[in-house]
Each structure stands twice: as C-alpha cells, then as structure tokens.
A and B are shown apart, each in its own frame.
Chain A
Amino acid sequence: MFGLNTECVLSDPQEYLELEDYAGRVSRWCPGCGDNGILAAVQRLCRDEQLPLEKTVFVSGIGCAARFPHYVSTYGFHGLHGRALPTAQGVKIRRPDLNVFVNMGDGDCCSIGTAHWIHAVRMNFHMVAMLHDNNIYGLTKKQVSPTTPKGWKTNTTPGGAYLNPINPVSATLGITNVSFVAQVVEWIPELLFDVIRRAYHHKGFAFIRILQRCPHFMPTGFQSLLADPNNLMLLRHDNGMKVSDDLARVYKTHEDHDPSDMNNARRLADLEDKVPIGIFYQNESIPCYDEIRRPQKMPIWQQREQLLTKSFDRFGIAQGADA
C-alpha cells in the first residue's frame, strides 16, 4: 500500500465518538436546504460506525453540495467542479484503508463531470458517491441543470428548460460494471440514513442519487412528492431495504423489488408517474479497481534498486565485451 504503514495509526481503543465529534464548521447552507439533512444522516452514519476521523475522507467538487467536507471534522478535499470522482479515486488507490465518500451536485456529476461519472461506475472503486440532486444550479444562482425538468424556468432558460432531463439512476444502471445504485429523498431521514448505511457497507462503487430541496431557487421543485407521499414508491425486499411500519403507513405505494434483479431495476428507474426510492441494484461480485490495480507488494527500497539494476542491464552497453 505504497509504503504507508497503516497499522501504526490503529492505536489503542479510542474514545467513543459522539455526533458532535463529527461536526465541522458551521454550515452556511440556506435555511431549509436539503444538504443539511444529508449532512445529518452522514454524521449519524459516522457515529454509528465509529469511523475514525483521521481515516475518513470526504471528496467534493464545486457547488453548494461540495461545501460538505468543510462541515465534517474528518479529512476532506474540496476540489474542482466536476472533478471529485477522479480525485477520490487517486486517494483510494493509494490509501485503500481510508473510508472515501464523494459529494457531488447535479451539475458536478451529470454535466461537467459526466465522463468521470461513467468511468467511475465502470472502474468500480470501493467508495460511496452521493449525488445531491436539487435539479438546479444553486451556487451560481439558478441556471438550468441536466436534471431540471423540461419546461422549468431558470435564468438561462427563461422560457422554460428545452430538454428532457437526464435520469441519473437509469444512466448509471446502463453503465458496465455497475455495482450499487440507490435513490432516496432527503426529507425522509430514516430511509436516507438506511440507504447511506447500506451504501457504506457495500463493497464497490455505491452510487446514491439523493433528491434534495433548494428552498431558494427551486422551492416548488419536489412539491408534488411532498404534497402527496403516494407519488413516491418505496422499494422493499429482504435483500434490499426493510421499511418500518410507521413509514409504510405514510408512504402507501410500495414495491417488492429484489436489488439483484437488473431488469426490474431498469424498469423501475424509467417509471414516469412514480419516483421509486430505495436500492435499485446491488452486486458485490464486480471486481473493484482498487483491488485489481493495487500492487500486491509492499514497496521497499531494495525492490526499486533491483528493478533499476535490471533495467540498466537491459539498456546497458557492454562495450568491447565478448560478443
């Protein structure tokens, strides 16, 4: 693992970490912003799993969602618009011992970072990628996003969005090597937490699309889902999520869906009248890039010396030697 003695930091049993131990800076998200709910769910996951602060990294791009690493007390990398995934992969290839989470907005993931998203699914690094999808560009103040519903008015589409939106769940399900795909909404904390927890325990690249409200620029964006909970469809299965009785009473539309069933997952992802939430697909047998490509040898300097000697022999000129 690239010369890092990862054992040395696993010292004595640590103190139990409370929720506030995972709190970073005070959030500057707008009041009512759905990102706050995602942050709370993630912090709860960290606490429940007792993730060591120093062994956890949140990697993000640019945008409102990308401020996430500043609001947790672990390590973080707040980089460039669209580039969170390859950066996180670089972290993970060197340090498979770290818990790596990626926070992206809809522009980040589905527009400027599309190539990285497709290839991240294909490479299947072991990490959790959260798409904070509010259907609008927030930080740059209300421009159309690749997930903005057709017809919605934004500052760059005053006459209404011209195109049909990308469906990030369908798109991800169509990519080779897809390993884990889920969709959830930020305003049902119990489900949100459960999906993130399952993603965390999944071995491979776990992609979660989280529908998330933007009170400022998309205040009515998810109105129909909030007003009538039956527009949401809970996916439940013994292999997938179990839904509590309380939730089942509020959200009456359910479907029994086995996440190993890709065909049904794709059918559900393409539904137009309902928004399914839960785990669409899960397959842990896909090889992870960080396992395939990670060199199996602990680097020691003698290996480098041997390798260089071998190479210099190969390129060496034995002048005047017996041929």
Chain B
Amino acid sequence: MSPTQEAGTIQRVDQHIVEIISDSGEGAQTAGQMFGTVSAQMGNSVWTVEIIPAEVEPPARSTAGASGNRIRLGSFPITNAGNHTDIVLALNEQVLKGREAAGEFKKNAIIILENVWASSKVPGVAKAYTSTVADLRAKGYRVYEVPMEEECLKHTDNPKRGKNMFILGILCRVYSRELAYARKAIAAKFKKKGQPVIDANVKLLEAGFEYAGGHLDFRFDVTPMESTEPQVVMNGNTAIALGVVASGMDVCAMYPITPATSASHYLSEIFDECGGVVHQAEDEIAAAAFAIGASYAGKCAVTITSGPGMALKTELMGLAVMGEVPLVLVNVQRGGPSTGLPTKVEQGDLLAALFGTHGDAPKIIMAPATIEDCFYSIITARKIAETFRTLVIVLSDANLATGQQMFPRPKFKKEWLAPPIDQSPVDPSHPPFDWDEKTGLSQRHIPGQPGGMYALTGLAHDRESHVAYEPGINQQGCRYRSLKLAAFQKTLKTPKVHGDPEGDLLIVGWGSTKGSIEEAVDTMSSKGHKVSSLHLTFLQPMASGIKEIMQKFKQVVTVEINYSDDPNDELIDDDNRRYSNLCLLLRARYLVDVDCWSHVHGQPIKPEEVEQMIERRLGAR
C-alpha cells in the first residue's frame, strides 16, 4: 500500500511504551495484544500489561472504566512494564483522565484521540471533550484528534466494533510494522468467525495504516533485538497453566477468583488431551480439600487461587502439612486485605503464606520473578512437594498474571513429569510416617498399595498415624515436619547478587519486581552509584549465604509492593513501625538492620521509582 503522503521523519528509539485505552468492549485489549505480537515478530522484546476496569462492563466514558493494554517494546530484553507512556491511543477523552492523573504518561506524550465526541449531541459530552483536550494541550501533551468513526464508517456499518483495528493500523504505520504480520494476527484471531469478518477487519487495519501515513507527522523505529533462540510470548497465568501440564500433575481444583482464574481457563481448554482434569469446586475450601484428596490418592495435585481464596484454604493448608500430603498451592496475589484490589498488583501475602495457618505449619514458599519463572516454578514446586511430602506455595501476582513477556521457548524434558506411582506392596512393618531421624523425611503409602493401609489424620499422630494421646508425640511430629525444611534448605544455592558483591546499598526483592529493580540498579550503577540487588526465589526456607551478602553493603533495603509505615509520619517510631513483608522476615531471621521501601498503589513498581529511592538514600553524584 502506498500512502497518499509520506509524512515526518523516522525517529530511532531503543524502547517505547504505547498505550491503547477505550471503554470496555471496544477491543482495545485485543488491539494491544496484537500490536505486542506483531512487534515481537518484528524482533522487538515486549512486555504488555492489561489495563482492566474493576467491573465487567463499566459505564461508557468513565474515568474508572478505562480498559486496554500497555505495551513496552524495546531493542534489549525487556523485564518489566517500564516507566511512562510515550504514545497513547484513546477512544474517548474520559478514559485518559484517570491514567493521566495517576502520572502514567510522559510529559510530552503523544495522544491520538478519537474526536467524534467534539460534535456529540449528548448534553455535556462535546464540552467535556473540548475542555479535556484543551487541558491536555496546556499540560504539554501533543494531542492529535483523529476522526476515527468517520474514517471507519467508510468501511463498516459498526465502527464501535472496528475502531480497534483502525488503531492497530495507525500503530503499524507509526512504528513501520509489516502489515502482513497484522493481517496474519487478525486471521488467527477471527478464524472462528469466518472470512468476511477477517476481511472487514483487515480493511479497517489498512484504512488506519493509510490514514496515519497521510495525517500523522511522526514515525518511530524501535531497533530489533538480536535473538538466536526461538521465543514464545504469553502471560504469567498461561505460563502457570502450561507449567501444570509440564509438571506431570493431572488434577487442578479451583474456584474462580481474580486474578488467578485465567490460569485455569487455558488449562481447562487443553488438560483433557493429556489425561488431566480441572475441577471447579463449590468453594475455595472444597477446591483445596479436593486437591488434597487427589494428592493423598496418588500424585500431587494443584489448587490455584488468590489472596482471599488462600485465606479460606488455610485450615486445609494445615492439614496438608500435618498429614504430609504433597500439595501445590498457587496464589496469584492481589491487593488486600478483604476483597481489596482484585485486578491490581500487590505482594502482601508473603507473611500470610508463611504464618496464616494456625499452629506450627512449616511449608515451602517460592515466588516466580518473571513470566518464564511462572512456567518453571510449577514444575519445581511439584517435585519439591512430592519429595518432601509437603505443601509448596507459589506466590505469583497480578503483574505477572496478566503481563505478557517473551522468553526462550522451553525444551521439553521427560524429567519434568511426575514419575509413575509406586503401587508395589509395602512391608506391613513399615509405618506410614517412618520419619528419618535426621531429615524428617518418610516414604508415602498410597491407597492401592497392599500392606500400607493406614488412616491419615489431621490430629497430632505418631509414626503409625495413630492419634497422639501420649505427651511428647506432638513435639516429635512438629520436629520432624520442621526438619524437612532444613533438609530442603540444604539443597538451595545461594542467590547471585546483581551487580557488585559489595557497595553502599543492596536492594533485596522478591517476585515480579525483579525486572524493575535490576533495571534501576543498572541505570544507577552506570551513574556511579555503588548499588546492587538480590532477588529471592525461595522465601521459606531461605538459601544459605544471604546474611553474608547483606553484610557486604552499608545499607540494605527491601523493595516490595505491600504496605509499610513511613518513618517520617509523626506517630511512627522504632517501637511501632510496621515493615513490609520481606523486610520483617529478613530482620527477624538475620538480626540485621534492613529497611524497606514499598507502596500499595496497585501498580507495578517502576524502575524510575526505585532509581529515585536509590538517589534519596545515596545522594546525587
């Protein structure tokens, strides 16, 4: 296609952030995902973040109803959502307002805005539109008003459903994307709806492409990234679903809860094909009980949930620990407490995972830091759960759940899968809890094994699984269950420091903040600051050597997306300050003066925020 007029020069950038926002139902998410895919195919690294309203269908043209996608593309491996948006495409001015107010846009960001509202007959709409546009311009944004509806009407009767493809066309022109990739993406997306629908969408795509060529005076080129390995791109929840398949587990019990549920969607689609089953139970408690029942009767099962769901499952978590039934519990954390911020990111469940169960319930806790980790951590978790007859909690979060990232295509290994279950007869003199004196480990008896019969109980019990009436038995049982963690801890490697092994400041993080922290550390190191970071995969137990690492730095700060008191608040002092989760844990375990920096804005932590924090602590050079 030859544009009517080739406008503007091409500006080369090594990364850019693009945001597409609309009312929900207008397809901004689809367009954003497609643009991410096309960009990845053109050789860029991508990280996409869904912008999700809290309601299924919020009122049209509302600030809180913004729905869409934010795509960061770059010529280097992108590990996080980045800082501020460079280009925004919006289908009305209202959905912009909230994002703008939250400081999401770059100072002089380009805003491409549907202008149909300027001539609206609905009282107040035209006025709201013109005053918002004036306001945005006054703030320094470069607003381009585009008659999207008018242009789309040339090609479709229902522009409401087609504008997103028009936008995709605009973006393809602005970033010089090959239209062939976009056509392919459209064909794949609308395959089930038939060729006429595909053709109509392609027409709109081309219309957008043509329009941008003739009317927009800016073009960007994000240099492709060198990559030798084949890549896949998916979100963290899909990665978890595939991890379940790859781990060899075949029962997943769940109850719908945002943002965990979508992990079960893809699994539901494919699990039958390999002999697996997704069971949607009547509630969170039943889901956990179902998974435990399935684990007890054979291989480890998984239950996937989010914060409030994990809260409901706590009693059963205790049962898995007490009965030594292997169980993988995935908690895709959301903001809390209570129903909190269902679609927003937070890391506030670490201590709840550790201590939420009543009594002494030692369990293993790990956290994926990237979307790639979401896949592999499930495989690891299943293995640990079965080897150590215990509960393994995998703490993901909303940032990983809905963000899409590229990573090298995994190469299948047979060892990932659970081995076949041993159904050979058990020597009847071999007790079901034959705890090893040193490690607390014991061999599991599984129903169907002759000679191994026993009644598992959640009550304190002896080696024979007999209810403990004699004093001392409970002490022993607790000791063995605790020793298993120590035995497991001996298998962990000391995590590697990102940056120099010593310096002025060490940032310790866990989970999805890794990309932002490391990017900030790199930026600040290049400016001469002596700052490094350490990212923990295992939160309980923790690997050896962490204290030694921390001791080589003058200051240690954890960076987390959960609440901590601000020491500058008038009422806050050393006696009452509440620290963020990991910080409290490190202080308790290592008796070192770890500080924390955290927020609960419901947003991923931006590298820039970490950089500012580093600067505040170390002073500008």
A95 touches B297 (CB 8 A): yes
A312-B417 contact given A55-B448, A295-B275, A304-B274, CB 8 Å threshold? no
Inter-chain contacts of B420 with A (CB < 8 A): 3-5
B282 touches A93 (CB 8 A): no
> Interface 1/0s, chain B 272-292, versus A by CB < 8 A?
111111010111011101111
Task: Report the Cα distance A72→B412, complex, angstroms.
Answer: 44
A90-B315 contact given A5-B420, A323-B41, CB 8 Å threshold? no
Task: Report the Cα distance A308→B250, complex, angstroms.
Answer: 14
A70 touches B275 (CB 8 A): no
| Distance in Å: Cβ of B593 to nearest Cβ of chain A | 42
Q: Which of B55-63, B224-232, B557-565, B602-610 contacts A (4 or more CB under 8 A)?
A: B224-232
A301 touches B41 (CB 8 A): no
Inter-chain contacts of A4 with B (CB < 8 A): 298, 420-421, 423, 448
Task: Report the Cα distance A320→B181, complex, angstroms.
Answer: 10
Inter-chain contacts of B421 with A (CB < 8 A): 3-4
In the complex, B178 has a CB within 8 A of chain A? yes
Inter-chain contacts of A267 with B (CB < 8 A): none
Of A86, A98, A306, the residue contacting B286 (CB under 8 A) is: A86
Inter-chain contacts of B533 with A (CB < 8 A): none
Q: Which of A74-82, A176-184, A225-233, A254-262 contacts B (4 or more CB under 8 A)?
A: A74-82
Of A2, A73, A76, which is in contact with the most chain B CB atoms at under 10 Å from its CB? A2
In the complex, B170 has a CB within 8 A of chain A? no
A53 touches B41 (CB 8 A): no
A90 touches B289 (CB 8 A): yes
Inter-chain contacts of A73 with B (CB < 8 A): 453
Inter-chain contacts of B127 with A (CB < 8 A): none
| Distance in Å: Cβ of A294 to nearest Cβ of chain B | 7
B453 touches A54 (CB 8 A): yes
In the complex, B400 has a CB within 8 A of chain A? no
Within 8 A of B (CB), among A15-72: 24-25, 52-55, 57-59, 62, 69-70, 72
> Interface 1/0s, chain B 170-213, versus A by CB < 8 A?
00000000101101100000000000000000000000000000
A90-B245 contact given A295-B277, A307-B270, A320-B43, CB 8 Å threshold? no
Task: Report the Cα distance A272→B200, complex, angstroms.
Answer: 69
Inter-chain contacts of B292 with A (CB < 8 A): 79, 87, 90
In the complex, B234 has a CB within 8 A of chain A? yes
A95-B450 contact given A295-B275, A308-B246, A311-B270, CB 8 Å threshold? no
Least CB separation from A58: chain B residue: B455
B277 touches A317 (CB 8 A): no
Inter-chain contacts of B271 with A (CB < 8 A): 295
Task: Report the Cα distance A234→B12, complex, angstroms.
Answer: 89
Least CB separation from B183: chain A residue: A323
A57 touches B447 (CB 8 A): yes
In the complex, B442 has a CB within 8 A of chain A? no
B246 touches A2 (CB 8 A): no
A323 touches B178 (CB 8 A): yes
Q: Count B-side interface residues using an 8 Å CB cutoff.
A: 84
In the complex, A6 has a CB within 8 A of chain B? yes
In the complex, A271 has a CB within 8 A of chain B? no
Task: Report the Cα distance A76→B418, complex, angstroms.
Answer: 24
Inter-chain contacts of B245 with A (CB < 8 A): 304, 307-308, 311
Task: Report the Cα distance A80→B295, complex, angstroms.
Answer: 16
Task: Report the Cα distance A319→B42, complex, angstroms.
Answer: 6
In the complex, A145 has a CB within 8 A of chain B? no
In the complex, A298 has a CB within 8 A of chain B? yes
B298 touches A94 (CB 8 A): yes
A299 touches B275 (CB 8 A): yes
A317 touches B315 (CB 8 A): no
Of A75, A90, A309, the residue contacting B251 (CB under 8 A) is: A90
Inter-chain contacts of B270 with A (CB < 8 A): 307, 310-311
> Interface 1/0s, chain A 81-119, versus B by CB < 8 A?
001011111111111011000000000000000011011
Task: Report the Cα distance A263→B296, complex, angstroms.
Answer: 40
In the complex, B590 has a CB within 8 A of chain A? no
In the complex, B262 has a CB within 8 A of chain A? no
Of A86, A87, A116, A304, the residue contacting B417 (CB under 8 A) is: A304
A93 touches B294 (CB 8 A): yes
A115 touches B283 (CB 8 A): yes
A308 touches B279 (CB 8 A): no
A119-B289 contact given A9-B448, A98-B448, A316-B230, CB 8 Å threshold? no
B285 touches A83 (CB 8 A): yes
In the complex, A273 has a CB within 8 A of chain B? no
Within 8 A of A (CB), among B62-91: none
In the complex, B402 has a CB within 8 A of chain A? no
Inter-chain contacts of B227 with A (CB < 8 A): 319
A70-B251 contact given A312-B410, A319-B43, CB 8 Å threshold? no
In the complex, B456 has a CB within 8 A of chain A? yes
Inter-chain contacts of A74 with B (CB < 8 A): 453
Task: Report the Cα distance A307→B458, complex, angstroms.
Answer: 37
Inter-chain contacts of A95 with B (CB < 8 A): 297-298, 447-448
Task: Report the Cα distance A301→B458, complex, angstroms.
Answer: 34
B273 touches A307 (CB 8 A): yes
Listed by A's residue number, 6 A-B pairs whose Cβ atoms lie within 8 Å are: A3-B418, A77-B323, A79-B458, A90-B293, A295-B276, A323-B183
In the complex, the 3 A-B pairs of residues with the closest C-beta atoms, listed nearest first: A90-B293, A76-B455, A299-B275
